[in-house]
Amino acid sequence: MRIAVIGAGPAGVRAVETLVAAGHRPVWIDEAREGGGRIYQRPPQSLRRDARMLYGFEARKAEGVHATFERLAPVVDWRPETLVWHIRPQARRLSTQHQGRTQATVDYDAAILCTGAMDRVVPVPGWTLPGVTTMGAAQIALKTQGCSIGARVAFVGTGPLLYLVAYQYAKAGVTVAAVVDTTPFATKFAAAPGLLRGGATFVKGIYYIGWLRAHGVRVVEGATPVAINGTTDVQGLRWRGSDGREDLVACDAVGMGWGLKPEAQLADLAGVPFRFEPLQHSWIPECDTSGRTPVEGHYLAGDGAAIGGADVAELAGARAALALLQDAGQSVDAVRVAALDRALAGQQRFRIALERAFPYPAALAASVADETLLCRCEGLTAGELRAAAREDHDVGPAPEMNRAKAFTRVGMGRCQGRVCGPAAAEVLAASLGRDVASIGRLRGQSPVKPMPMLVPEATP
């Protein structure tokens, strides 16, 4: 049986581990040079240091994932630095490109897609300036390159990552100018009983916030970002407090992020239906609790299926592999399946509380100012998208996202709407006076990422 696993983060590692234990030798593909995914991304050899320093409380888990990856890579068909740019679910064929050069196809009988996540952002005036990055980017710079995104950094957004990254920066000696959380304290407080289910995870969150405050870092809750000041680089972050007063800190870099969103382009191309998940306020590919999708032979695990974090990803990776084995008629350890299901269900309850504690600020996204750049690839402003929703639009109003894309080019550029998609949907829905779940989502189109045209000789 030919099995393909795409992604070598925590979900992919545990999926492959389970498959190898059952006697399979899957094709294992990742864009990175080695395993770990984004959460446990490793620095290059010359920067490699103590795991405790790099991954903090998660050091043991990171080491576990890395060690398992090291053990598995030599015994499977490991293909690093390889982009899967197209998937044909009926033909069960992947199109891949290695190092931006070599084309290859991979035929499979079953595939597990562990494609991870990226930051979800809300456009703020000035957000395309050099010096503004996602929260994830700020963390990766520090973790894998020993660099901060600036000398004096402000963070804006919401979610556990906001406090974690601010804490990591401050611990590394970087001046954290401010932590601006768009969620009011009361919202988090109301979710606290549910968060307690998270046990250690919750305690760590409280610890980071307390540590930041104790070390004199300015933490603002319930704020609305107004602008990132600067013309060629970042000069400051402006926001409006919950009392309505505007405030400003000087900084030379801003990290921003409002939780994560699945990188689900391959699931989309594989024909997996999507549904709007109200709690995550996000379109996610459909699969059952064991990772089975409605498309036979195709499984999902980890943040690429629904945002759950690294611990869930490890569990879900193993569970999806077991589902695949079960569907292939192999006997699996029922006790292990039950234990994984229980653990996943427990995590799910914590997740619900977390989403309630740090909701996506849909109203903020919907109210992005007309002149603010919305689609950074196509240079499109929020006002231009709003115009396409009006009755007097010259080709008629766009009733849904893909029509808006066709009319305005929103989400049509290099990133294919990965970055602007969620905010663009809020802007369009609000302009149409409709619920965001009713206006569809940007459809995925091959190639999954930009692909260079090769000189004829190099094309097989």
Partner 1 sequence: MKLQRVRDANRPGIALTLDGAEIAAQQGDTLLTALLAGGAGSLRRSEFGDGDRAGFCLMGACQDCWVSVAGVGRVRACATQASQGMKVTRG
Partner 2 sequence: MSETCDALVLGGGGAGCSAALHLAKRGLRVILLERGLVGGQASGVNYGGVRQQGRHAAELPIARRSREMWGRMREIAGTDAEFTVTTHLKLARNAEEEAELVAYLDIARDYGLSLRMVGSNSIHLEYPWLSNSVVAGSLSPEDGSANPRLLAPALAHAARAAGAVICEGTRIVELSYAGGMFLLRAEDGREFQAPLLLNVAGFWGGAVAEAFGEKAPVAPMSPNMMVTEPLPYFITPNIGVVGGNVYLRQIPRGNVIIGGGHGESDPSKPWSRALPEVSLQTQAHAVALVPELAGAHVIRSWSGIDGVTPDHLPVIGPSRTTPGLFHAFGFSGAGFQLGPAIGAIMTELMVDHATDVPLDAFRIDRFQTAAGDTP
In the complex, the residues that contact partner 1 under the rule CB under 8 A are 31-32, 38, 43-47, 49, 100, 118-119, 128-134, 136-137, 140-142, 144-151, 172-174, 232-234, 252-253, 263, 373, 376-379, 413-415, 418-419, 449-450, 452
Measured from the CB atom, is 244 or 460 closer to partner 2? Answer: 460
98 in contact with partner 2 (CB under 8 A)? no
Residue 329 partner contact from partner 2, partner 1, none using kind-dependent CB cut-offs of 5 to 8 Å: none
Which of partner 2, partner 1, none does 31 bind, CB closer than 5 to 8 A by kind? partner 1
Using CB under 8 A, which of 18, 41, 68, 95 touches partner 2?
A: 95
| Partner touching 200 among partner 1, partner 2, none, CB below 5 to 8 Å by kind | none
What single letter denotes the amino acid at residue 91?
Answer: A
- CB nearer partner 2, residue 85 or residue 283: 85
Cβ partners under 8 Å of residue 224, min gap 6: 182, 239, 240, 364
Shortest gap between Cβ of 445 and partner 1 (angstroms)? 14
Residue 163: burial class (beta carbons within 10 Å; 0-12, 13-18, 19+): buried
In the chain, how long is the greatest CA-to-CA distance? 65
Q: Which does 149 bind (CB under 5 to 8 A by kind): partner 1, partner 2, none?
A: partner 1
394 to 453, contacts with partner 2 by CB under 8 A? 394-396, 399, 403, 406-407, 412-414, 416, 445-447, 450-453
- Of 343 and 415, CB closest to partner 1: 415
For 224, the token pair is 């609305």
Q: Which does 446 bind (CB under 5 to 8 A by kind): partner 1, partner 2, none?
A: partner 2
**Cβ distance to partner 1 smaller for residue 128 or 289:** 128
Q: Shortest distance, CB of residue 407 to partner 2, whole angstroms?
A: 7
For the chain, what's the residue count?
A: 460
Site for partner 2 in 362-401 (CB under 8 A): 394-396, 399
Helix (H), strand (E) at residue 259: none
Contact code string over 131-170 relative to partner 2, x by CB under 8 A: ----------------------------------------
Burial track 340-349 (b if 16+ CB lie within 10 A, e otherwise): beebbeebee
- Distance in Å, CB of 295 to partner 1, minimum: 24
- Measured distance CA(385)–CA(397) in Å, rounded: 10
Q: Name the 3-class secondary structure at 428.
A: helix
- Give one DSSP letter per residue of 96-115, joined into a string: EEETTTEEEEEE-SEEEE--
Q: How far apart are CA 291 and CA 93, in angstroms?
A: 20
Strand, coil or helix: what is 456?
A: helix
Q: CA angle 88-90-93, nearest 5°? A: 40
Which of the choices partner 2, partner 1, none does residue 82 contact, using the CB cut-off of 5 to 8 A by kind? none
The binder of 314, among partner 2, partner 1, none, by C-beta within 5 to 8 A per type, is: none
In a 10 Å sphere around its CB, with 0-12 CB exposed, 13-18 middle and 19+ buried, how is residue 37 labelled? buried
CA atoms within 13 A on the CB side of 217: 31
Q: How far is the CB of 32 from partner 1 (least distance, A)?
A: 8
Query: Given candidates 79, 86, 298, 418, which one binds partner 2 under the rule CB under 8 A?
Result: 86
Q: What is the DSSP track for 337-384?
A: HHHHHHHHHHHHHHHHHHHHHS---HHHHHT--TTSEEETTTTEEHHH
The nearer residue to partner 1, 147 or 363, going by C-beta atoms, is 147
Q: Which residues bind partner 2 (CB under 8 A)?
A: 85-86, 88, 95, 103, 105, 394-396, 399, 403, 406-407, 412-414, 416, 445-447, 450-456, 459-460
